[in-house]
Amino acid sequence: MIDYNQINSVHLEISTRCNAACPLCPRNTAGYDEDLGYPVTDMTLPQAKRIFTPDFLRQLDHVLINGNFGDFITAKDNLDIVQYFYLCNPALKMEISTNGSGGRPGLWENLAKLGDIEIGFALDGLEDQHSKYRRNTNWRQVISNASKFIKAGGSAVWRMIKFEHNKHQIDECQRMSKEL
């Protein structure tokens, strides 16, 4: 059995909503369905405070906010939750995975100023290939949001899934990633 007091890393899904329509995602193959475990829901700040007490957060070294069930940018309390985590544990290392094609004004700049956050932006190729998989996302918006985050001091990673349709762009994506 896991000793609660020895947990130092957490994988967190804060939303089941997503603005994208990636063809292999269960939301798009089966739809939102309570029986399949995909109710439409976001974690709220009050829920986060109940689940992640200040004492528990202080014992954590790392939090990954991932996008297996939904995207970080769609959660209404996303910034408030991250701010709360850093208020309780300023030394926390956080990773956030996102398609990055959205977010309220100031989100990216505010995230960059909070703490040790690395954001992985899902960019599956250059503009002409990206949306073949990341449907309903806007490549230029992702680049703009990543640039805002980086310019405000944030650490960003270009996350690319290699497909037949985009593999010829890997070198150019790596070059552009370093340039950004």
**How many alpha carbons fall within 13 Å on the CB side of residue 111?**
33
Output the pLDDT for position 27. Answer: 73
Question: pLDDT digits over 32-77, tens only?
Answer: 666 666 788 999 999 999 999 999 999 999 999 998 889 999 999 9
- What is the reported pTM? 0.92
Question: pLDDT digits over 78-136, tens only?
Answer: 999 999 999 999 999 999 999 999 988 999 999 999 989 999 999 999 999 999 999 99
Structure tokens belonging to residue 170: 């890997």
Residues 6+ apart with CB under 8 A from 83: 114
C-alpha 100/C-alpha 62 separation (Å) is 21
Helices and strands in the chain, H and E counts: 8, 5
Better-predicted residue by pLDDT, 13 or 30: 13
